[in-house]
Amino acid sequence: MKFNKNVNLLLSGQTLANIGDILYIVSVISSIYKHTGSAAMSSIVPFTITTSMFISSLLTPMLIGRMDLKCLLVGSQIGKTMMLAILAFFLISLLNEQTVFIIFPIISVIALLDGCANPIRYSILPYYVKKEDLLQANGVIEAVTQTVQMGMWFAGSLLLISIGEEKLVWIVFGLFSISSYLLARLSQVEQVPTTNSMNWHQISEGWKTLSRMLVLKAMTWIDIFDTLASSVWIAAILYVYVEEVLQQSEQWWGYLNGSFFAGLIAGSIFCVRNSTFVEKHVRLFIVLGSIGSFAATFLFSLTNIPLLILGLSASMGLFGQFKNIPQNTIIQLSVSKETLPKVYSAFGAIETGIFGVSSLLMGILAEYAGVRSAFLLSAFLLAVVCIIVVKNQHKFVLGDMKKGEEG
């Protein structure tokens, strides 16, 4: 499928921004560890990012009511670019063991801006894509995003070794600058700001929509248990799994991540190439994806055969996309374009808030009850997702679902 100019600009701009995000995190974590020698200090980076993005998800609806979506998207990317320039200056000129704390406020501001942009990225797409092409467009964006995720952590490590943190941050600055330029060329969306004031109503509107619409209420519960289950896949737990269960070398941590992302990409490509078939059987794919994810995770928790583990890891990515892409498309078609950013902001707050807490709890469980127990708990949570999906599958249809879906 050939997309229009706006979709190509959005996809290109966001891809460059995603590449920059990964390289910037690699640079910052490495720089902090080099100057402090503290793994604990380095671990504050993801905590700072998650906390800031959670706060941003809560507050973004107030801006959405006052500003145009394109302006918010471009403004957040330009803001990130400016903060990267400040970060590069500190890394080159001022950073040492005593001043390393200066980095964290900068990281926090970048994450706040990122948290503002995330719901807009999904919400602005229906303005540029016909309804019948939306699932395919979501699939393409997911495929590109997961390919970037799979490749850039490895490439980032190589670049870090080759050129160092300071130069790598300036490369990110360049990527962010080009991204800002591409996003600025997007056509203005036909959206009229709904208010000139910032108030509680702006924050609560997305949450009220989630609780009022039956299909979104079901999606919320699915998202909650999915996020709880996914927290088992943090690097710290996977590292222990490779060491204690598989009894393999560190490189298997990379193999597991690679196979998982390969499954994600395969699922995205399938949905893109067979978008008409997926649209006709959207309920089937959400049910199949949920059951497949549960089964693969459950088997993953029980076996220690390395090759089988790789296959199960890829299966989790594959089935996850079978569920996530149709689910995301249903959300986009469930509410008006004006309300959609606030709905995605609410989902973002749920995901970041729950993931931050559950990652800590999963780590404690793996430490004191064994790493297998963490994956068994994840499988149990995905079984709950299956129950919710099967009970609510009659609500999962593509089209205008605003009528008759409140309760």
Question: Are both 138 and 208 inside the same structural domain?
Answer: no
Question: Are both 387 and 259 inside the same structural domain?
Answer: yes
Q: Exposure pattern of 342-360 as b/e (b: 16+ CB <10 Å)?
A: bbbbbbbbbbbbbbbebbe
Question: Are both 98 and 220 inside the same structural domain?
Answer: no
Per-residue pLDDT tens over the stretch 197-209:
555 566 677 888 8
Query: What phi and psi values does residue 338 have, to the nearest 5 degrees?
Result: -70, -35
The domain spanning residue 289 has which CATH number? 1.20.1250.20
- Overall domain count for the chain: 2
Domain end (from 128, 153, 183): 183
What is the structure's pLDDT at 402? 45
Domain assignment present for residue 194? The answer is no
Backbone CA torsion sign across 102, 104, 107, 109 = negative
Q: Which segment of 49-63, 175-189, 193-207, 312-326 scores lowest on mean pLDDT?
A: 193-207
Domain assignment present for residue 162? The answer is yes
Helices (H), 65-188: 69-89, 103-123, 125-128, 134-184
What is the structure's pLDDT at 293? 96
Domain end (from 127, 150, 183): 183
Question: Are both 380 and 274 inside the same structural domain?
Answer: yes
Q: Which segment of 129-133, 170-174, 269-273, 399-403 scores lowest on mean pLDDT?
A: 399-403
Amino acid at 123: S
Domain assignment present for residue 254? The answer is yes
Retrieve residue 113's tokens: 């801006």
Question: Are both 65 and 145 inside the same structural domain?
Answer: yes
Per-residue pLDDT tens over the stretch 299-308:
999 988 889 9
Nearest to 15 by CA among 140, 132, 102: 140
Taking only Cα atoms into account, the Rg of the chain, rounded to an integer number of angstroms, comes to: 21
Query: What phi and psi values does residue 2 have, to the nearest 5 degrees?
Result: -100, 120
- 78/345: higher pLDDT: 78
Question: Are both 237 and 179 inside the same structural domain?
Answer: no
Question: Are both 119 and 261 inside the same structural domain?
Answer: no
Q: Which residues make Cβ contacts (< 8 Å) with residue 138, sequence separation at least 6?
A: 125, 271, 325, 328, 329, 332
Question: Are both 206 and 350 inside the same structural domain?
Answer: yes
Spatial contact of 148 and 17, defined as CB atoms under 8 Å apart = no
Spatial contact of 238 and 260, defined as CB atoms under 8 Å apart = no
pTM score > 0.85 for this model?
Answer: no
Per-residue pLDDT tens over the stretch 217-265:
999 999 999 999 988 887 667 777 887 888 887 678 778 878 888 898 8
Query: How buried is 407 (Cβ within 10 angstroms: 0-12 exposed, 13-18 middle, 19+ buried)?
Result: exposed
* Alpha carbons 309 and 20: distance in angstroms, whole number: 31
Per-residue pLDDT tens over the stretch 358-384:
877 888 888 788 889 999 999 999 999
Domain assignment present for residue 246? The answer is yes
What is the structure's pLDDT at 199? 55
Query: Residue for token digits 């963490």?
Result: 374
Domain assignment present for residue 148? The answer is yes
What is the structure's pLDDT at 404? 37
* Alpha carbons 156 and 161: distance in angstroms, whole number: 9
Amino acid at 49: I
Retrieve residue 144's tokens: 């590109």
What is the structure's pLDDT at 38? 65
Retrieve residue 11's tokens: 């996809």
Question: Are both 140 and 277 inside the same structural domain?
Answer: no
Residue-range definition of the domain harbouring residue 169? 5-183
Kind and range of the H or E run holding 340: helix 340-369
Q: Which residues make Cβ contacts (< 8 Å) with residue 277, sequence separation at least 6?
A: none
Question: Are both 169 and 223 inside the same structural domain?
Answer: no
Q: Which segment of 41-45, 50-54, 244-248 scores lowest on mean pLDDT?
A: 41-45
Q: Which residues make Cβ contacts (< 8 Å) with residue 65, sequence separation at least 6?
A: 193, 194, 195, 198, 202
